Homo-oligomer: A and B are copies of this chain.
Amino acid sequence: MTSSASAISSALSGDELAVLRDRALRDYDELVRRGLSLDLTRGKPSPAQLDLSAELLTLPVKGHHAADGTDTRNYGGVQGLAEIREIFSGPLQVPAAQLVAGGNSSLTFMHDSVVHALLSPLPGAARRWADEPRIAFLCPVPGYDRHFALCERFGIELISVPMTAEGPDMDVVERLVAEDAQIKGIWCVPKYSNPDGVCYSDETVRRLAAMPTAAPDFRIFWDNAYAVHHLTDTPVEIADVLALCAENGNPDRPFVFGSTSKITFAGAGVSFFGSSPANVAWFLGHLGKSTIGPDKINQLRHVEFLRDEAGVLEHMRRHRELLRPKFDAVEAILSKELGGTGLASWSTPAGGYFVSLDVLEGCAREVGRRAAEAGIALTPAGATHPYGKDPRDSNIRIAPSYPSLEELEQAITGLTVCVRLVATEKLLADAR
List residues of chain B with CB within 8 A of the CB of A297: 57, 265, 267-268
Nearest Cβ on chain B to A53's Cβ, whole angstroms: 8
Asked if A4 is an interface residue, CB under 8 A from chain B, the answer is: no
CA A115 – CA B108 in complex, angstroms? 13
Known: A265-B73, A265-B297, A298-B268. A115 touches B105 (CB 8 A): no
Nearest Cβ on chain B to A239's Cβ, whole angstroms: 29
List residues of chain B with CB within 8 A of the CB of A77: 267
Assembly of this chain: how many copies? 2
The interface on chain A, measured as residues whose beta carbon lies within 8 A of the other chain's beta carbons, has a size of 50
Asked if A64 is an interface residue, CB under 8 A from chain B, the answer is: yes
Known: A57-B60, A119-B118. A50 touches B73 (CB 8 A): yes
CA A413 – CA B72 in complex, angstroms? 31
Asked if A34 is an interface residue, CB under 8 A from chain B, the answer is: no
List residues of chain B with CB within 8 A of the CB of A286: 153
Is the pair A71, B50 in contact by a Cβ cutoff of 8 Å? yes
Q: Contacting A58 at CB < 8 Å: which of B53, B58, B261, B266?
A: B58
Closest chain B residue to A77 by CB distance?
A: B267
List residues of chain B with CB within 8 A of the CB of A71: 47, 50
The segment out of A216-224, A288-296, A384-392 that lies at the interface is: A288-296
List residues of chain B with CB within 8 A of the CB of A261: 75
Known: A50-B73, A104-B103. A267 touches B290 (CB 8 A): no
Is the pair B298, A295 in contact by a Cβ cutoff of 8 Å? yes
CA A298 – CA B289 in complex, angstroms? 23
Known: A267-B72, A292-B105, A297-B267. A154 touches B119 (CB 8 A): yes
Cβ-closest 3 pairs across A and B: A111-B290, A268-B297, A105-B291
